[in-house]
Structures are given as C-alpha cells and as structure tokens.
Structure 1
C-alpha cells in the first residue's frame, strides 16, 4: 500500500461512519461517544423476534443494561450469555456454550447475536453466528481499544487451538460495528496499551504520516483524550476498511495487517493463551519484525530504533520470552501465512509500505536471540 495522508477527523462527540465495501456484505462502522445510548446507532438493525447478547463477566456489569435498553426497542425477547473473561477461554468449550444457549433458548435462524466485549468475545460470537443454522446475523459492540481498531472489523472470526492462535474459524462479516469511545473509560491501563499496539502497526504498513501523528500524540492517547482516541480509531478503521475491501479473505494484500503477528502469535501459543495480552505479543512481535526488516537490508537501522522507542513508550514489552529458538520456529511454521513449511513474515520495505517475505531460519534465529529476555 502506498502512504496516504491522515485527514482531519470529526470530534468524538460527532459520530463518524466508515463503510466496509463488500457488495452485499457491506456494512458500517460507527465511531463516537455515547453510542450505546444513541437511538440513531441502533436504527435499521436486522429484524427478528429474538436477540442474544454475548458478553463476559467483566464487561457485562458495566454495559449490559444499557445495551439491553437500546435493543428493547427492536426485539421482543433479549437473551444474555456471560462467558468467563480472557484469552484462555477462547476455545471449543466457550464456543459450545454460545451454541448451547442458542439451541436451548429456542433461537431461530433470524436471531441476531450481539458481541459486547473485546476481541475474544467478538471473535467467538462471530464464529458462532457463522456456524449456527449455517449463518445468522451479528453485530459487533467492541469495548476495548484493540477490538475497536482491529478485531471487530473485517469479519475474521475464530477460536484458538493449543498448537496455534485463531486456527479454527471462518470469514464472516458483521452487519454493523458500533464503537462507543466511552467504553474505553473503564479499560485497564494494560488493555489500553495492548490496543495501542494495533494502532501503531497501521503506520509502518500503510501511512507514514499516521506513524508520525501517533508519536506526537501518544501521551494524549495514554491519557484517554477523546479527540485523540477518535482520530486514532477512525484512521485505523479507515486503513483496515481499505485493505479488507480489496482482499476480504486474505489472499494477498490483507496479510499486511499481520505485521508483528507471526512472532506475536508464537509468543501467545508458547506461553499459553492469556499469559500475555494479544497486543503485548504483537508489540514485541513488531520489534522482532522491524529487526528482521533491518537485517534483510529493507530498512535502515534507525527504523528499528524508532519502533523500539514508540512501542516502549506505549507501555508494551520490547523483549520476548525465552521459549528457545527452535520452539519459536516450530510455532511459526504452523502460522496461517506459512506455505509448504516455509515461514513468511510481514516486513517493512519502505515507511508506509509492507510486503510478505520469507527469511532464512538462521537470520530469524538471530532476531529471536537478540530480542528475547
């Protein structure tokens, strides 16, 4: 992708709308403050007798009642399922709890699912929607920064497998994404930093100007300044919308959105899901991918220094766990981007431009050794 300039964005109090252009699967992302309580945000939802809200034990006490109130104007019956909180529960057991709830409560094929929570809830609810009665509509209501800028957008749904992250899933688009920035007020600081990792990635892969903006406004983002968050969320979603609109099923261009993820997913699987947050692993993975970009001669050494400084300022780990070089390589060979056992990485070959490349195992081993605690 070529670099594109960052536009002036509307203030957080004025909701913005970004379209994901996918023909009959097209939908809008709504971004702004107060959307949970805004009648306009919930207009033109799919018609049904029943809705099922899937949330978790952390988010539900904060926002479930407000979502139920909003949906009560549209559905005669609103069912609720609260799951355990955390990446460790993104598995078959939790997925079956959603399916069990749908079946035991008499939900038909028009039932609309609402995912109220972060990336784990969004991914599992979307996957359940994709497979229940061969597909029912669902709406993403992301309540974490990471989910608002990445996982709720684009239709990737999945659960984890002990041998690899997100290895069981489907491409299945929501009918709407409603990102209420006010939900970030209750987000723990560690989760906020994890979300910043997914924002940071958009700069090196697609928009050098946005990378500079993040560097200049990182303190405001960490302070949860609403105008800064609105800008960051909207620009991130604009970039992802552009990529997904061109490559919905990740046959080429969309793979660039996985910058840092090959190393990051290996960290998550190697430690056991939930030990590190996804964004923490991605932040560290971006350091490793930046280092590999430099070692391959694609980028100058100053790029690695710049990325390390920004990722560290965001409160993310710069050094990965010592899993052992061979364990890293083993885990990365089952990454979805691997082909014929060859590991392929998203690397930066110009600021604002990324590409998929393989690298010699020996060079990858040097990167791992240099960037693990």
Structure 2
C-alpha cells in the first residue's frame, strides 16, 4: 500500500466546500483520495463526477444504517428527554471524523481534510481549534469534541477564506455551476421542520407522549400543548397559544409533560451547569482572564468563569447577560477565536443548591 506524507483523504460531499478543499490541496501538491459517506438520501452522484473530473481516487462508504442507529437515534432520544440536541456536535467525533480516520488508515493516508470553516493552531504541545475567518460560516462550535489524536491529522484548508472567496475560487477554476449552488442544510437528514421529522421517524410519539399543559412559573395551567418534544427552551414562535403578551418557553418537564411559559426576563441566567466536557488544558481554561462561552451556534460569546464541581460537572458563571439556557446544546469556551474546550449544557434542575454551595467562588 502506498504511503506518503502528502497523501490526504478528503471527506467529499460533492458540495462547494469539499470541492474547493480538493482543488486547493491538489494545488499544494497533495495526492488526494476522496471518500463520500452516504448517510442519508440519494446516491452521491455529484461527488463521483467531481472526483472523476479532478482525476482523484474516490470511494463511497454506505453508512446509512449505523448513522441512523447512532446519530439519528440520539437526536430523537434527546427530544424525548426534553433536551435540544445538536446532531453535528454528536456526529463529528462519533461518526464523521472516526470514519475518516478509519478510511485514511485503510488507504494509507496520513492526513484527513474537510471543508469546515475553521483553523488549527499548535501551542504548548496542544492542537487548538480556531474560529474561521468568515464569522458567518465559522464552524469551530461544532468541533469541540474532537480529540487531540484526531486533530493532529486534520487539515482545514478553508479556514482562512470567506464563503464568497471560495465561490470565486471555484468560478476561476472552471467550476462555474458548482460556485453558484445554494447552501447545504444545517442538519443533513432534515429537510423541513424537525417536528415533522420526529413524527415521521416515530409514528408512535404523539400517542406515547400525548398533549400536555402549558403552565406559568407559578404552576397555573395556561392551555394545552401538543407534547413536550415539540418545544425548546427560548422558543417563542409556533406555540399556538394567545396570552395577550409575548411568551417564551422557560422549562420543559418530560415527566409531567408540561412546558413552562414566561416572559423574556425569566429566561436570563447568571449561572449554568455543563457536563461531559472535553477541555484541551484545564489549568488554562480555569485561569483564563478573557474566557467567553457560546451557548448556541452563532450566538455571541459571553464573558464567563468556569470551575470544576465535586461531581465532575462544570459550573459556569456568566459575567454578562445570558439567556435561554437549553440542556442538550453545547457550551463552547473561547479565548478570542481559539477554542479551549466545550461541554454539553446539563439539566439546570437543582442549580440553586449548586450556586449556594459555591457562593464563596469569586
């Protein structure tokens, strides 16, 4: 089997970003091998045709069954628990990058590359994910769970470019039609509303959960809802209840099938608890004077402090206004544009006691 430090496996979707990734790496002298993971939907004909045009080896990995059994199942299970999942955060370490590493090893490639709009930086013996130059397309938020062993083999060629620059590049290289294609879906296996997807995949869900009650923070019943899996913290639109004033989802109780509603001010939080973290350097994170956290994709970074609790979870103290803390979403910690680590936002039940136990924390 041929092995070379210039041989790189590229995850090819057939879209704008992976096409540009292949072309850029070819220009830099890499020998490209493409692999397309078929996880949902149609045959990856675009990727095959592009690989043939570029003259590169290409393989298709049919991963539809394991993808559904892991990533899609987790997505559904999270909503069934009243949480708000981000499937890309789950997919990257458990599926996408794991599969790329396996294929790279099988095909004799030292490197793997994707079209993520992110960068990598080596510092103090660690590899850090760094936000891409295009703030609108930056995907560093989705990559926080990748381990050092994976990052040391990654190349992200698009991190220093904007999406428009990438489109212009493809046009200049003779890929005019590709350069004009629209954006891909945020969640690759959902074309419309996630609620319709849940019903399609779980026909029994409505009967299993059934209608429940919207309640106020005082426990007063306000009206019926369609079932707690169809709501998320901070949601305002689509509640289908008239209260005479704007109402937001404050809390979800799967055990009681209740959804608490209130005003925007009640969504604000000074603290949150996070779990299942992946931190590059704990000493650096806990001591960082300029630490900030993003609590959802494309949200503004919020200045914060972090400490480790005795039970292993993280307690995050916000130093600026934070709102709509949604369990299941990711809390990703940054120093400037550099990712220091991340964790999943945990259930905030019992957080009052946690805060009281840590009241001397400065």
Task: From the two aligned structures, give the one with the greater strand fraction.
Answer: 2
TM-score when normalising by structure 2 = 0.31
Task: From the two aligned structures, give the one with the greater helix fraction.
Answer: 1
Of the two, which has the highest radius of gyration? 2
TM-score when normalising by structure 1 = 0.31
Higher relative contact order structure (alpha carbons within 8 Å, sequence separation ≥ 6): 1
